[in-house]
Chain A
Amino acid sequence: MQPENQSVGTLGQGNLDGVSVGEHTQQFITFTLGNEEYGIDIMVVREIKGWTDTTMIPNAPAHVRGVINLRGVIVPIFDLRARFGVGLTVPTSMHVVIIVAAGSRTVGLLVDTVSDIISVDPKAIRPVPEMGLPTEDQYLEGLVAIEERMVTLVSLAGLFGMATAKRSFAPDMATTKAA
């Protein structure tokens, strides 16, 4: 599947001008959940699309919002807010789904808005302090300060346990919920 560059490219173009893309910098797409800003590695992002109604999957965990038809491929949509354990998103047509490649699978992440593309020097990424957050640290790759804002970088591998390639979403998530 080809990334749909045009949709990604139009995002936050104004901000891009001010950012110098260095050799060793890593680019992230940032998105918001409520007032918080998160970043996800641009390399895994395939496309960004508006929210469309999904088909429910029976007996799936709450953060699995169902599946959609993405040009003939069945793609599951995960509610990232629910995944982080801070409540269900009530999606409207203004909500955004980020289609990402998680290992060999293609999945969609439901977020509030997509805001920016940022370039980050890996050295500037700071570890996530242990604060007894409701989300587990393993989903979070680190923190980075962009101007006055703090962006939390999300690890897709940690999110879906992709470190060990394909594996079940549901039981993994069920355990998290119990924890």
Chain B
Amino acid sequence: MMSEGEAYPLEQFRKTYFEECAELLDVLQANLELLAAGAGSEETLHAIFRAVHSIKGGAGAFGFSSLVAFSHVFESLLDALREQKVDATPDVTQLLLRASDALADIVNAARSERALPIDFASDILTGMEEALAGASGATAAASATSGIEPVAAHAAVKGERSYRVVFTPHTEMLQKANEPLLLVRQLRKLGGLTVDVDMSRLPAFEVLEPEAAYLSWTFVLETGAPQSAIHEVFEFVEDDCDLLIEPLQQAAEAVSAAPTANATEAAPAVAAAAEPSATVAPTPSQSIRVDVDKVDRLVNLVGELVITQAMLTEQGSLLPVDQYPAMIQGIEALAQSARELQESVMAIRAQPVKSVFARMPRVVRDLAATLGKEVKIVTSGEMTEIDKTVIEQLNDPLTHMIRNALDHGIESPDDRVAAGKPRQGTIHLSAAQRSGRIVIEVSDDGRGLNREKVLAKARDRGLVAPGVNPSEEEIDNLIFLPAFSTADVVSNISGRGVGMDVVKRNVQALGGRISVQSRFGAGSRFTMSLPLTLAVVDGMVVSVGKETFIVPLTAIIESLRPQPADINPVVGRGDVLALRGEYLPLTYLHSSFAIESAVTDPCQGIVIIVQTEGAGRIGVVVDELLGQQQVVVKSLEANYDAVDGISGATILGNGRVALILDVARLREIGDKPGMRMTKPARETTSEVREDMNHAA
């Protein structure tokens, strides 16, 4: 594999091209969605055009002819839109969306070297060509009446001006299938051009790399076109060259001062020169492509560093300050740097959920078409950032949930009308940060869960014991049991078994939770909450009896030692704490976890007020607070099992393991005897299922 890659560098470029395509397709999709929602600006269109154009450019270089052909028509239509020869009517935007889906398919086919049917997407092509034909007819008519107007407008606005353009390609520019000659030709189209070539970087022949760019050019262009037009010429090579564009008269002094202005010095001038022209966005993205493995290695190393640093800090605190001042200062500085380093490294991994969300509209379109339903998807909070590993694992459960909402939630248009709802169903997809976690919701305005059917089925399958009467919430959450995955119990729409148990397992594997709220006839809302990062938490170290636990700082609202009068028992619900006129349920950690010789009276210990997702705010009773510390999360599941109420483990400065509390679950462990009765059955089924998977 490796040697192949070296033998065929083209293979490497091809890989890079497809990686870029994936990103460009995401950009395309996202901007088309904006356009379709009527929220598009001129820049949206430009971004769409650029994406398609870049895909086409690369495709040409690699000889993917069908990709070129399709993207060419696509691009032409977009160009017509840009020039307002075609209006972005809903029909047109729908056509563009379908074209973008088709383009993604063609790219994928090219990537996997699959052949597509001859007539693939021919209807879309025809549609785009028709739209274009309509446009050129219209413009022909328009230009007949005011043929010379555009030119006149140019001259009126600007008049002829001279610009000095210094164009210094980066060495690798040619490898990205860019051809300077084409740029020169395009420049010449704008007006009178004088070209000076700088060959000083040209090396001796024997060390010359045939694929490297050594030449640079200085152009003097006399043109009536605005400066932005010059920028546009260089639009696609902007990231791969140093570019200086300046009006000649004004910049004459600067030029004479630095006649051989080299590329790096010229760079700030580019920014300055670009500022006035607001139409183009010449912000070359300062990004690099890095192998995720490298980042992961970095994250792990930093994790180890933080543990060592915590150990040093702990040991350092035992030293007499007056004897080792430099040592103690050093340890403090180390702690600071380690923390900043860690934050920076984690920030590398954080990405907006947008990349996953952007794929969902297509899922909806495709499935809606198959099922004959009318559905629109509305997303919000796409910019919420979350760790890359989490994002990658998010696609499957999210797709599952969306499909599920479409298949089982949203009714057919006629049924919807009969139920007094709009024909078109809506799926809301949202992301937000809440108490140190990211909460992603998928809600639909469909028919909701039919609790009677769910419960009947659950009893039928022995998932709920005859005597037990689960609450509504508990019934809804029965759908996450493996036994529910196989059949179309809830709705009678046929189709593949949508395994909500699989979704639940995926989400749990990420340290997340999922729950559902539903109103029969009005829709369902699936809520999943995920940790922002899997690697580090800021924690409060607390003690209970002889045990030490970490409470994630993000979950803590406050901690206090209550007065006896503030504690009141409530029959059947345990104790509540009166706090500024509110009553918060208390959870005793020592009793939840069966820890001996702990403080049992909250007035002798500490009550930590935490935010849970399901049960609102609760008070957790512990013995005392030992301090605040950043801890590296270690998996308990790697060698053991998931433990209810525990989200992971960490290693303290003294080398001992401390468990990290999952505060949101504490309430349930503490006082839900009803839930516990149904639990063993649930656990066993999931276990059997897991075994089967492993055996398979």
Knowing that A53-B656, A76-B639 touch, tell me 14 more A-B residue pairs with CB under 8 angstroms: A54-B657, A58-B593, A58-B645, A59-B593, A59-B644, A67-B636, A74-B640, A105-B638, A105-B639, A105-B640, A167-B690, A169-B641, A170-B641, A171-B687
8 Å CB contact of A55 from B547, B638, B687: B547
Contact with A along B290-329 (1 / 0, CB 8 A): 0000000000000010010000000000000000000000
Q: Are B639 and A58 in contact (CB under 8 A)?
A: no
Chain B residues lying within 8 Å of A74, measured Cβ to Cβ, are 634-636, 638-640, 649, 651, 657
Interface majority SS on A: helix, strand, loop or mixed? Answer: mixed
Chain B: how many interface residues by the 8 Å CB criterion? Answer: 35
Nearest-Cβ distance from residue B454 to partner chain A, whole angstroms = 25
Provide the residues of chain A in CB contact with B680, threshold 8 Å.
171, 174
- Complex contacts, B128 vs chain A, CB 8 Å: none
Q: Identify the B interface with A (CB < 8 A).
A: 304, 307, 547-548, 592-595, 634-636, 638-641, 643-646, 649, 651, 655-659, 669, 680, 683-684, 687, 690-691, 694-695
A80: min CB distance to chain B, Å: 16
Contact A72 B639 (CB under 8 A): no
Q: For A21, list chain B residues within 8 Å (CB).
A: none
CB-based contact A59/B643 at 8 Å:
yes
Q: Are B640 and A57 in contact (CB under 8 A)?
A: yes
Report A-chain residues with C-beta under 8 Å of the C-beta of B669: 59
**Chain B at the A interface: mostly helix, strand, loop or mixed?**
mixed
How many whole Å from B534's CB to the nearest CB in chain A? Answer: 15
B694, A56: Cβ atoms under 8 Å? no
Contact pick for B683, options A53, A56, A58, A168, CB 8 Å: A168
Inter-chain CA distance A172–B634, complex, in Å, is 24
Give Cα A58 to B598, complex, Å. 14
Asked if A72 and B307 make an inter-chain contact with CB atoms under 8 angstroms apart, the answer reads yes
- Which residues from A are CB-within-8-Å of B690? 166-168
Per the bound structure, the CA–CA distance linking A168 and B685 in Å amounts to: 12
Q: How many pairs, one residue from A and one from B, have CB atoms within 8 Å of each other in the complex?
A: 93
Cross-chain contact of B640 among A58, A76, A165, A171 (Cβ < 8 A):
A76
- Judging by beta carbons under 8 Å apart, are A67 and B640 in contact? yes
Supply 10 A–B pairs (Cβ within 8 Å), ascending by A: A53-B656, A55-B658, A56-B547, A58-B593, A59-B669, A69-B651, A164-B694, A164-B695, A168-B683, A171-B680
CA distance A53 to B695 in the complex (A): 36
- Given known contacts A74-B634, A167-B694, A171-B683, A55 and B643 CB-to-CB distance under 8 angstroms: no
B639 touches A68 (CB 8 A): no
A34-72 Cβ-contact flags toward B at 8 Å (1 or 0): 000000000000000000011111111000101111001
Shortest CB distance B638–A (Å)? 7
Indicate whether A55 sits within 8 Å of B639 (C-beta atoms), given known contacts A73-B634, A164-B691, A171-B684: no
A106 located at the interface, meaning its Cβ lies under 8 Å from any Cβ of chain B in the complex: yes
Collect the chain B residues with CB atoms within 8 Å of residue A66's CB.
657
- How many angstroms from the CA of A166 to the CA of B692 in the assembled complex? 11
The answer to the question of A125 belonging to the interface, with a C-beta cut-off of 8 Å to chain B, is no
Given A55-B658, A67-B657, A168 and B643 touching (CB < 8 A)? Answer: no
Q: Are B639 and A75 in contact (CB under 8 A)?
A: yes
Could you tell me the distance in whole angstroms from the C-beta of A169 to the nearest C-beta in chain B?
5
Please encode chain A, from 144 to 179, with 1 for each CB lying within 8 Å of some chain B CB and 0 for all others: 000000000000000000001111111110100000
A68 to B646, CA, bound (A): 16
Contact between B643 and A60, CB atoms less than 8 A apart? yes
Given known pairs A57-B643, A58-B593, A165-B694, the reply for A73 and B638 (CB within 8 Å) is yes
Are A55 and B657 neighbours in the complex by a CB distance under 8 Å? yes
Q: How far is the CB of B677 from chain A (nearest CB, A)?
A: 15
**Residues in chain A near residue B307, CB distance under 8 A:** 72
Q: What residues of B have a CB within 8 angstroms of the CB of A57 in the complex?
A: 636, 640, 643, 646, 659
- 6 closest Cβ contacts across the A-B interface? A58-B593, A55-B657, A165-B694, A76-B640, A164-B691, A105-B639
Interface string of A63-94 (1 = CB under 8 A from B): 01011110011111000000000000000000
